[in-house]
Homo-oligomer: A and B are copies of this chain.
Amino acid sequence: MAQDAAGQGAQSRFHVPAPPARPGEAPDFSAYSFQKAGEAKRPDPLIDGARTSDLAHGLVGVLDHNHQAVGEWDPRLSPEVLREGLSHMVLTRIYDDRMLKLQRQGKMSFYMKSAGEEAVSVAAAMALNKTDMVFPSYRQQGILIARGRNIVDMMCHCISNSRDNLKGRQLPVHYTWKEGGFFSVSGNLGTQFPQAVGYAMGCAYKGEDSIAASWIGDGTTAEVDFHSALVLASTYRAPVILNVVNNQWAISMFSGISRGEASNFAMRGLGYGIASIRVDANDFLAVYAATRWAAERARKGGGPTFFEMVTYRKDAHSTSDDPGKYRPKEEGAQWPLGDPIDRLKNHLIGLGEWDEDRHAALEREMTAYVTKAYKEAESHGTLHDGPLSPTETIFEDLYDKPDWRLIRQRRDLGV
């Protein structure tokens, strides 16, 4: 890049990066280069972090263009496990679609889908132990589904009704589920990244072999907490998995605004001496295998792993934006790494362990399941029509016991 600047007249000039294509232009992926599935080597999980440069610049992939599992990273999962993963991803997508519709109908204030990114959360959740604490962003609802949270409870949170386990305090999709090892999702980007490291240090301190994992987006890598997390993880060799979900966009900003002149995000971890790996995150098997590798590394005292999970945000950032306003409509459809559900489905079909009819049946089943669940959820109220959790709950859970200020304020409100 320096060269063309020089070419531009060998004089420093103000530079602001821009994406290759904007609305009305043809999608352009020429800046991307992806190592072929099966090519990346799989080193011993206790490898010195500094020696993972090839993995940071390459791409760990298992499913090739024929949807066959190839190479050292193939986790060799049984058809049962693969079908379980497929069904979690399908449920996640159908759940998201349904929630979006309900938001449009005014049943909830806000929603965020994970369309196209289901493998990131589902495969990771299946590769981790249930006792491992996850510190997700707002786009890893797939973890809740894979860990078996009742979707009625998830819906009750999203519609902020009387059964919302967060008492209506949080925006939709900002879940918390301690039982399931799912930490409180913050609306503030990045803050959970260093917290996850602290939690992981706590696991090590207590001599447990549980670990922690966290997810942030490509745009969030620019945030101060990103650096805090990597410094802590490196210095204290924490048993933590730090995932950057590079879905190419941060609301309207392309990944270049946070990546800058670097060719990818995985490289960033190398500078801290942390094992750093770039993963085809639309490849369920690759995400599963990589997460397993990192979990083994962490449990055995090898320390942290930093992942760039390469994927694409297929839909809007949230219900508050229209992606047609800032990127080509066709970009998602043409994304070179395809769709995580299609790819796992075709892999299973290739194995003779799945077919179109069974898939259609699965989709019908999940759709019915979601519809039924929503009926039940709605029976506990909606944000719009209530019932909500009792009003006085807004004064609870700040301190062990409310002090005089909260007691008076509750009285002032008359609840």
As a 0/1 sequence over residues 250 to 290 of chain A, the CB contacts with chain B under 8 angstroms (1 = contact) are 00000011111111000111111111000000000000000
Asked if residues B2 and A46 are in contact (CB atoms below 8 Å), the reply is yes
Residues of B within 8 A of A262 (CB): 50, 234, 271-273
As a 0/1 sequence over residues 305 to 344 of chain A, the CB contacts with chain B under 8 angstroms (1 = contact) are 0000000000000000000000000000000000000000
Asked if residues B15 and A204 are in contact (CB atoms below 8 Å), the reply is yes
Asked if residues A2 and B297 are in contact (CB atoms below 8 Å), the reply is yes
Residues of B within 8 A of A274 (CB): 261
CA distance A259 to B239 in the complex (A): 18
Which parts of A1-28 form the interface with B (CB within 8 Å)? 1-3, 5-6, 8-17
- Name the segment of A106-114, A166-174, A219-227, A369-377 touching the other chain: A219-227
Kindly report which residue of chain B lies nearest to residue A17, judged by CB atoms.
Answer: B235
Given contacts A231-B222, A261-B50, whether A205 and B271 have CB atoms under 8 Å apart is no
Q: How far is the CB of A391 from chain B (nearest CB, A)?
A: 39
Say yes or no: is A38 at the interface (Cβ < 8 Å to chain B): no
Say yes or no: is A349 at the interface (Cβ < 8 Å to chain B): no
Asked if residues A3 and B257 are in contact (CB atoms below 8 Å), the reply is no
Residues of B within 8 A of A209 (CB): 11-12
Say yes or no: is A211 at the interface (Cβ < 8 Å to chain B): yes
Say yes or no: is A136 at the interface (Cβ < 8 Å to chain B): no
Copy count, this protein chain: 2
Q: How far is the CB of A162 from chain B (nearest CB, A)?
A: 41
Q: How far is the CB of A247 from chain B (nearest CB, A)?
A: 19
Asked if residues A8 and B301 are in contact (CB atoms below 8 Å), the reply is yes
Which parts of A203-241 form the interface with B (CB within 8 Å)? 203-205, 207, 209, 211, 222, 224, 226-228, 231, 233-239
Say yes or no: is A115 at the interface (Cβ < 8 Å to chain B): no
Interface residue from B14, B234, B301 paired with A10 (Cβ < 8 Å):
B301
Given contacts A47-B2, A48-B1, A235-B257, whether A11 and B301 have CB atoms under 8 Å apart is yes
CA distance A303 to B261 in the complex (A): 10
Kindly report which residue of chain B lies nearest to residue A226, judged by CB atoms.
Answer: B227
Asked if residues B270 and A267 are in contact (CB atoms below 8 Å), the reply is yes
Say yes or no: is A302 at the interface (Cβ < 8 Å to chain B): yes
Residues of B within 8 A of A46 (CB): 2-3, 5-6
Residues of B within 8 A of A149 (CB): none
Given contacts A261-B234, A261-B237, A262-B50, whether A6 and B268 have CB atoms under 8 Å apart is no
Interface CB pairs A-B, < 8 A, 12: A2-B46, A8-B301, A12-B209, A12-B301, A13-B204, A14-B201, A222-B231, A224-B224, A235-B259, A235-B260, A261-B272, A262-B271
Show the binding face of A for B, using Cβ within 8 Å: 1-3, 5-6, 8-17, 46-50, 201, 203-205, 207, 209, 211, 222, 224, 226-228, 231, 233-239, 256-263, 267-275, 297-303
